[in-house]
Amino acid sequence: MQKPSVPRGTRDFGPEQMSKRLFLLETIRQTFRRYGFQPIETPALENLSVLMGKYGEEGDQLLFKILNSGDFANGLTQADWQENARKLTLKISEKGLRYDLTVPFARYVVMNRHALAMPFKRYQIQPVWRADRPQKGRYREFVQCDADVVGTDSLLCEAEIVLMLHESLRNLGIQDFTVKINNRKILTGISEVVGAEGQEGPLAVAIDKLDKIGKEKVVEELKQRGFSDESIEKLEPMFQFSNETQAAFAQLKTWLAGSEVGLKGVAELEEVWSLVGQYGLADARIQLDVTLARGLSYYTGAIFEVKANGVQIGSISGGGRYDNLTGAFGMPGLSGVGISLGVDRIYDVMEELKLFPETGLQSTQVLVVHLDAEGRSVGLPLLSQLRAHNISAEAYPDAAKVKKQLDYANAKRIPYVVLIGSEEIQTGQLTLKNMVTGEQQKLAADQIVEKLRQEAALL
């Protein structure tokens, strides 16, 4: 008999894990809604014509492609099988699992542009799939929480993203984090002033590793990528930035004085910092990081990345400004900005830091314990009363011994049980037991409902 298993990079989630995940997701969802974002969903499957070419060559390799239904090889010739993988794939597969939520969102906006009020603010919480190598904090199936604004180039949106990130993480109990911010225009400006115009892509990929491999290794990689000694020498200010934000801005203005686009990027970031200050964000955890480079194939302005400090897990959120993501679908010039929160990585951070509230793990607030059919006839109406007052309640289905039923309550972390034996039936006074403290009270059914209703209101 074959031993059951799940594919590498995927996981099952039991009741306790799901309770934690639902707490996490609902906390983020409530934050998005407070900022005026509306929910949408898109299909798990997208046409490969929508997905291919949007994530760069490496991203295309990480797409999960789905074989066409039926005889997918029908009509293929021997020559077809000898073609390169990309050409063959497009002949046997028309669809794929979505790689992220951003590209499907762009497709959705274009298809529904006449029905949407612009600017359009949407959030989306759904799983995505990537054929990546599984490792800690990296899975092949994982949930993303995206929030985007399209139809405006106002930097107020970037400032609000900073606020949303702070509010979401703090509401989850994550206090020690850093929101790193850069601007794609600054990266372009750096390439211009070091004499490597048009090479910001390979330049950014190398300097993005500065905090991981250090200056010497970055310089070595730049040489391997063909950058001249003169360009590398002009890059020296990159390694000497002040940790004080305003001083760093001043250094950037001096360094990028010969690049119009670079100075525009600096001005945009200065405005974001100013707007965040006007909001009055307390203890802002934002950091200017001119080495930050992500989404180089589509980000055109601000770039965001969030790290949880003190844990060995990669970035837990990222995003940026894009000026023409919908252009690939025939709607050029639509500017937008967004972020994506990695639910699975945030979950791992909260697990490591023990931030999930115990109360969130209780699926049932009260268990009704009966010993026979007569006790059940008293307990079932009580169940209906409790549920009518939005109190989660259940009855043990069998007339088992009291110890077995109490063990069940403890296993499910149910805080209260109502015991209904012969004495309770005769007096009408049921026994309410607090499973945490062991305290017991004799109360009428209505009193039990009122007491538990009041406790639920305090949670």
Q: Which residues are annotated as a binding site for L-histidine?
A: 100-102, 130, 144, 148, 294, 298-299
Annotated binding site: 100-102, 130, 144, 148, 294, 298-299
Burial class (CB in 10 A: 0-12, 13-18, 19+), 7: exposed
Residue 317, SS3 per DSSP: strand
Contacts of 74 (CB under 8 A, 6+ apart): none
What is d(CA 364, CA 356) in angstroms, rounded to the nearest whole number?
A: 17
Query: Which residue in 252, 133, 233 sits closest to 186, CA to CA?
Result: 252
Q: What is the DSSP-derived secondary structure letter of residue 361?
A: G
Whether 353 and 173 have beta carbons less than 8 Å apart is answered as yes
What is d(CA 429, CA 446) in angstroms, rounded to the nearest whole number?
A: 10
Query: Which residue in 315, 345, 295, 343 sits closest to 146, CA to CA?
Result: 343
**Distances 448 to 49, 372, 391, 456 between C-alpha atoms, Å:** 60, 21, 11, 12
What is d(CA 306, CA 314) in angstroms, rounded to the nearest whole number?
A: 9
Whether 337 and 304 have beta carbons less than 8 Å apart is answered as no
What is d(CA 265, CA 269) in angstroms, rounded to the nearest whole number?
A: 6
- Torsion angles phi and psi, residue 198, rounded to 5: 85, -5
What is d(CA 73, CA 91) in angstroms, rounded to the nearest whole number?
A: 8
